[in-house]
Structure 1
Amino acid sequence: MKPFLDVLAGKATARPPIWLMRQAGRYLPEYRAIRSQARDFLHFCYSPELAIEATMQPIRRFSFDAAIIFSDILVIPDALGQSVRFAEGEGPRLEAMETPEALKGLASALDEEKLEPVYNALRGVRAALPPSVALIGFCGAPWTLATYMIGGRGTPDQAPARHFAYQHPEAFQSLTDLLVEACTRHLCLQAEAGAEALQIFDSWAGNLPERELRRWSEAPIGRIIAGVKARHPSVPIIAFPRGIAGGFSRFVSETNCDAISLDTACALSDIRKQLPPGMVTQGNLDPLVLINGGSGLDAAVDHILESTAGLPHVFNLGHGILPPTPIPHVEAMLRRVRG
């Protein structure tokens, strides 16, 4: 019995299963202890032993209902031949593709051999997990990946990619098509390596106008989900289109995702009324309220529990857990959710 998978199948449970985005990471002292064993972050992701250990650490400490493989969304551009590196304290740095001609330097298909360490880590985690804990694989959505690939780094409003899409729509469509195929293949290989559920992160969907949201976020994610389901129909897929405000009902309809992950800004009770009655939701606790703890955290947890009572819901954050998060606050949250 795996409560997380039960809920993704549409079953309401006595208490919601819980996991946290970025639950393996810098807020854990045991993670910081092993981080120094890799020469850089990408090497960490491609070291199965380290990735397995990082994935298992929060499961050992908190007994979450799901583990998400320790990796990064930017392994896909790396496996397509784009230069990717992580600068300490600055985040990812890619060789920016500012013109259509730059896209010609990409491979025509995913370098699966380069990503084999990720699949090996999945196999290792699956073998090590307790029987009740599910394993999640993931990828970035084409739009979010494109923002990094074109901008060369994270940008506040994703302006480089938006300019590129407006100025060179055919080239941008070609890049999107390539990323759809790469993401589909990467998710399928993760499922074949042991992932029991998959999540697609479109972290920058919220900066797209409605027409562009349909074209560059909803349509590509829908194609990825259809492609994965054609090979792995029983593997549930969660979509996380961060920041799209009131567009969740259409997003669910257009992509056919099995569950929708909601960001911090969502009014959870209102969104639930807009979605089909049996639709699975995930989220949307504010990572900052988790940092602050106390009565504010208790009230926020209670609000989510009350808003989703009797409905299929996965308790999670509205974005990734932040490095300054005190471990006692995570423990207090877990006691309240499970109490």
Structure 2
Amino acid sequence: MLKNDLILKAARGEKVDRTPVWLMRQAGRILPEYRAVRAKLSGFKELVETPELAAEVTVQPVDLLGVDAAIIFSDILVIPEAMGLTYEMVEKKGPHFPNTISTHKDLDQLKIAHPEDLQYTIDAISITKKELNGRVPIIGFAGAPWTIFSYMVEGGGSKTFSKARKMLYNDPELSDKLLKMITESTISYLKAQIAAGANMVQIFDSWAGVLPPGHYNQFSLKYIQQIASAISEVPVTVFAKGAYFALKEMNDVSCRTVGLDWNMDVEEAKKLLPNKTLQGNLDPCALYGSFDQIEQEAHRMLDRFKGHSHIANLGHGVYPDTDPEKVKCFIEAVKSY
């Protein structure tokens, strides 16, 4: 039994005493306590793959920041790794795939990932569940198929993802096959997270905004819908950064909540998504302001969402050099509104 189920009520569109609040990337870089755990290890991946430590850093923001949910500490790129395409996390540069997918033959090296290939995340959720002892819900997550595809084809981060986008034009059949494999892998992964104790799940489409609308519908939203419609056990949130052009189409996705980035128009989203809960969408840079500014910006944001079911968050992940005291100020400003 959960002591604080505000976020689940808000996701279901039920009445809440106050707006629930959490932050994307709350488990991590901003907290000195996280950095202390991380410093003992060889790298980021070791932390992701060590369930006890992943659970420890998942619980930290609940204890230290007072957020209304814990999001499991992991990475979206565990899926390609479980499918057979390994990645490295290069310090200060981000992910790098030594091998990429460029031909139909490359698909023969891949498999549909099974939950046991990702047992470390499943175990981390089980441990977190015990540690939290019902204080707040746990959010599980995965990357959207297009975002995962873009890394598997491109080989790492990119401003344009032109290699991945080129494949959509030059070989839609290969693109479709790979996206289907990622989708199947993701459904079984999220279902295993839920079985282990995740109370809701979020699908992160980090690179939604690089696609034109037609391609977004064909190569991203279609697969997100397949995932969302396969999950009926818990509320599903879809966060598609930059996909303002697809808000209307999000109505047809079987998710309860739609995340908005900080560039999206809240009034427009309220009109286009009358029956969805909205999540977001404070500019992460607002947390560099003074304590008074942060409080004012948080209250302005809450004013904009008035009259609509809402989960307070930033419009993207919290930036690594943000002062934890400023993060606490934002959380308190939401709670005291």
TM-score band, normalised by shorter chain? over 0.9
Residue 154 of structure 2 is aligned with which of 151, 154, 177?
151
Residue 306 of structure 2 is aligned with which of 290, 304, 309?
309
Residues 3 and 132 of structure 1 are in contact (CA less than 8 Å); yes or no, is this contact kept in structure 2? no
Name the SS for the 2:152 alignment partner: helix
Residues 12 and 310 of structure 1 are in contact (CA less than 8 Å); yes or no, is this contact kept in structure 2? no
* Separation in 2, partners of 1:281, 1:123: 28
Aligned residue in 1 for 2:236: 237
Aligned residue in 2 for 1:163: 166
Structure 1 residue 337 and structure 2 residue 328: aligned?
no
How far 1:122 moved relative to its partner?
0.2
Aligned residue in 1 for 2:269: 271
* Separation in 2, partners of 1:212, 1:246: 12
The number of residue pairs the alignment matches comes to 332
Residues 252 and 260 of structure 1 are in contact (CA less than 8 Å); yes or no, is this contact kept in structure 2? no
Deviation per residue, 1:178-215 (Å, 9 max, x gap): 01100101000000000000000001111111111111
Q: With structure 2 as the length reference, what TM-score do the two structures score?
A: 0.95
Q: Percent identity?
A: 36
Residue 92 of structure 1 is aligned with which of 95, 110, 113?
95
* Separation in 1, partners of 2:108, 2:171: 14
* Separation in 2, partners of 1:145, 1:240: 14
* Separation in 1, partners of 2:222, 2:246: 14
2:271 is aligned with what amino acid?
K
* Separation in 1, partners of 2:301, 2:133: 27
* Separation in 1, partners of 2:324, 2:46: 27
Residues 114 and 188 of structure 2 are in contact (CA less than 8 Å); yes or no, is this contact kept in structure 1? no
* Separation in 2, partners of 1:159, 1:103: 20
Cα RMSD (Å):
1.3
Name the SS for the 2:231 alignment partner: helix
2:144 is aligned with what amino acid?
A
Of stretches 243-252 and 195-204 in structure 1, the one that deviates more from structure 2 is 243-252
Distance 1:269 1:132, change over 3 A: farther
Deviation per residue, 1:127-184 (Å, 9 max, x gap): 1115341100000000000010000001111111100111111011000110110010
Aligned residue in 2 for 1:102: 106
Structure 1 residue 56 and structure 2 residue 59: aligned?
yes
* Separation in 2, partners of 1:125, 1:244: 32
Residue 323 of structure 2 is aligned with which of 319, 323, 326?
326
Where in structure 1 do 4 or more consecutive aligned residues deviate above 6 Å? none
* Separation in 1, partners of 2:181, 2:303: 42
* Separation in 2, partners of 1:273, 1:298: 26
Structure 1 residue 260 and structure 2 residue 258: aligned?
yes
* Separation in 1, partners of 2:328, 2:235: 28
Name the SS for the 2:244 alignment partner: coil
Aligned residue in 1 for 2:75: 72
Residue 180 of structure 1 is aligned with which of 159, 183, 196?
183
1:96 is aligned with what amino acid?
T
1:33 is aligned with what amino acid?
A
Residues 13 and 310 of structure 1 are in contact (CA less than 8 Å); yes or no, is this contact kept in structure 2? no
1:99 is aligned with what amino acid?
T
Name the SS for the 1:118 alignment partner: helix
Structure 1 residue 282 and structure 2 residue 286: aligned?
no
* Separation in 2, partners of 1:283, 1:59: 19
Residues 213 and 245 of structure 2 are in contact (CA less than 8 Å); yes or no, is this contact kept in structure 1? no
How far 1:227 moved relative to its partner?
1.7
Aligned residue in 2 for 1:40: 43
Of stretches 293-302 and 78-87 in structure 1, the one that deviates more from structure 2 is 293-302
How far 1:295 moved relative to its partner?
4.0
* Separation in 1, partners of 2:88, 2:330: 35
How far 1:223 moved relative to its partner?
0.5
